[in-house]
Chains A and B, each alone.
Chain A
Amino acid sequence: MTPAEIRVEILDILEDISPDEDLNGLDDQKPFRDQLELDSMDFLDIVMELRKRHRVQIPEEDYGNLASMESTVTYLEPKMKDI
């Protein structure tokens, strides 16, 4: 997947986790937490969905990389480039 495709996939996961959320205005640089009502259970779900959909394993110590859209895409790029 290209970074752009990964971004679309993450949006899709967020849409799935929180269908009532308006994702149009999402600022890629800002933390998700400041823009969306996501708690730790929801963050765990992003990890779980990536595992379910793409078999991407994210160790717990790396969860911090999922703070914003930009950092998430950067972190996932090497893991998802061959998918």
Chain B
Amino acid sequence: MYDTIIIGAGMSGLAAGIRLAHFDQRVCILERHYTIGGLNSFYRMGGRDYDVGLHAMTNFARKGDKRGPLAKLIRQLRFGWEDFKLAEQIGSSIRFPGVSLDFNNDIELLENEIAARFPGQIDGFRSLCESLLDYSDMDGGSPEFMRSAREVLQEHLSEPLLIEMLLCPLMWYGNARQNDMDYGQFCIMFRACYLEGFGRPYKGVRTILKNLVRKFRGLGGELKLRHGVSRIHVENGRAVGVVLDDGTELEGKRILSSAGNIETMRMCDDITAPEVAKAGQLSFIESISVLDRDPQELGFDRTIVFYNDSEKFHWQRPDDHLCDLRTGVICSPNNYVYDADEGQLPDGVVRITTLANHDHWCELPENKYQAAKVTQYDAAVASAVRFMPDFRSHVVATDVFTPKTIRRFTFHDNGAVYGAPDKQLDGCTHLPNLYLCGTDQGFVGIVGAIVSGISMANRHCLVPDA
């Protein structure tokens, strides 16, 4: 009998596992895939290391900073700053037709940029900054949380283009809702991206995942890969255990699931028809190019570029196409300030993310799917080079992953990267001892998912037995 069974070895499940194992619980993490990481994993192909996910870790903090989510998760998991050792971004840009705003990990740069490009808006921007909800208001208790972010932005800013530009990175990095954003989520992402900023460990997401797993195992936690949960066994209104894909049954006093809200409901014995209409719709393809040189040699020093090719930013699933090429994210992992003793990354890399339609990708027969990967890669790169130097003659290797890949690695409905638009902020379900963590609880992104795992473990699984 386990004290807690955790479904999923992504960021949130691993973080929750560490908390529980540290406080002497008998805890088991069950992961269906053959590897850890979920939405944020890594692979090796053709002699090269690739990251799935991780463009940037948001919520950057410098060594010695004690405030903010990153410092909090490092403390709660008993890590030291050196375990994550984030290199700072060089600088990122929001590029729309005819206007570009640069930002880095110091809000002053963005303020100066807004003052220069939108002089009439700078006071409004400052008042917006002052009105942001604090992280301590983020448990959903604040009545402001569920307001429309667009509506709040319009109270502070009168220039629609600036509103679109400010929303673009924040929606890209953490908005499960189409077209608009909950104001609470906007505040979380505003702090994470603009006030705290971006960083990356030299070795990418491996560093983080390896540390999480090593710590979890070191504390006596059990991690079982290739152990998918097919059912959550319910008796008399309580979860009593899980049934694995191979039929094995495991008992637990409580269950914490990072599989997603609808996905978890579907596993419960006592639920026949989960409300699939509430599933998230937003998924991505990512087109990765390995270059024969450092992107800076081609004149590209941006860490992340968020681009959009018209004045209006469309954050929605493309209905009639495989992908929406109007907006995207360009990331170069080379463009971080790594320590001198780490040096530069072995390869130049440009990664481009565009919105994609999960259903269309999954309907394609295998040969068409492979062909579509090639044509959509070309289309995404052609779209992106309108906003950066053309690197196409320097590409030595490519890879593409699609909503189908994301689905295969995470089992999230629709390959939805940020899960369902309506979050379950308290992590509760219809059963008193089944809880949610991760994407569908509320916090997204790497730091968000880890914080979610920690706070749900603290709130629901560490309370002394009554």
The answer to whether B458 touches A16, judged by C-beta atoms less than 8 angstroms apart, is no
Stretch at the interface among B61-69, B269-277, B296-304, B381-389: B61-69
Chain B contacts with A in 156-208, Cβ cutoff 8 A: none
* Least CB distance, B463 to chain A, in whole angstroms: 10
**B217 touches A (CB below 8 Å):** no
Q: Write the B299-336 contact mask toward A (1 if CB under 8 angstroms, else 0).
A: 00000000000000000000000000000000000000
The answer to whether B464 touches A37, judged by C-beta atoms less than 8 angstroms apart, is no
The answer to whether B464 touches A20, judged by C-beta atoms less than 8 angstroms apart, is no
Stretch at the interface among B48-56, B76-84, B230-238: B76-84
The answer to whether B80 touches A20, judged by C-beta atoms less than 8 angstroms apart, is yes
**B72 touches A (CB below 8 Å):** yes
Known: A18-B66, A21-B66, A57-B464. A41 touches B80 (CB 8 A): no
Cβ 8 A contact of A41, one of B67, B458, B464: B458
**A39 touches B (CB below 8 Å):** yes
Contact partners of A19 in chain B: CB under 8 A: 80
Interface size for B (C-beta < 8 A) is 19
* Least CB distance, B96 to chain A, in whole angstroms: 38
Contact partners of A48 in chain B: CB under 8 A: 23, 462
Chain A contacts with B in 14-59, Cβ cutoff 8 A: 16-21, 37, 39, 41-42, 44-45, 48, 51-52, 57
**B24 touches A (CB below 8 Å):** yes
The answer to whether B464 touches A18, judged by C-beta atoms less than 8 angstroms apart, is no
**B408 touches A (CB below 8 Å):** no
The answer to whether B75 touches A17, judged by C-beta atoms less than 8 angstroms apart, is yes
Cβ 8 A contact of B75, one of A18, A51, A52, A57: A18
The answer to whether B81 touches A20, judged by C-beta atoms less than 8 angstroms apart, is yes
Contact partners of B81 in chain A: CB under 8 A: 20
Q: How far is the CA of A18 from the CA of B66 in the complex (A)?
A: 9
The answer to whether B458 touches A44, judged by C-beta atoms less than 8 angstroms apart, is yes
Q: How far is the CA of A52 from the CA of B462 in the complex (A)?
A: 11
Contact partners of B455 in chain A: CB under 8 A: 41
Chain A contacts with B in 57-71, Cβ cutoff 8 A: 57
Q: How far is the CA of A45 from the CA of B458 in the complex (A)?
A: 9
* Least CB distance, B129 to chain A, in whole angstroms: 22
The answer to whether A37 touches B67, judged by C-beta atoms less than 8 angstroms apart, is yes
Q: Which residue of B lies closest to A16 (CB)?
A: B78
Which residues does A use to contact B, with CB under 8 Å?
16-21, 37, 39, 41-42, 44-45, 48, 51-52, 57
- 10 A-B pairs within 8 Å (CB atoms) are namely A20-B63, A20-B80, A21-B66, A37-B66, A41-B72, A41-B76, A41-B454, A44-B458, A52-B22, A57-B464
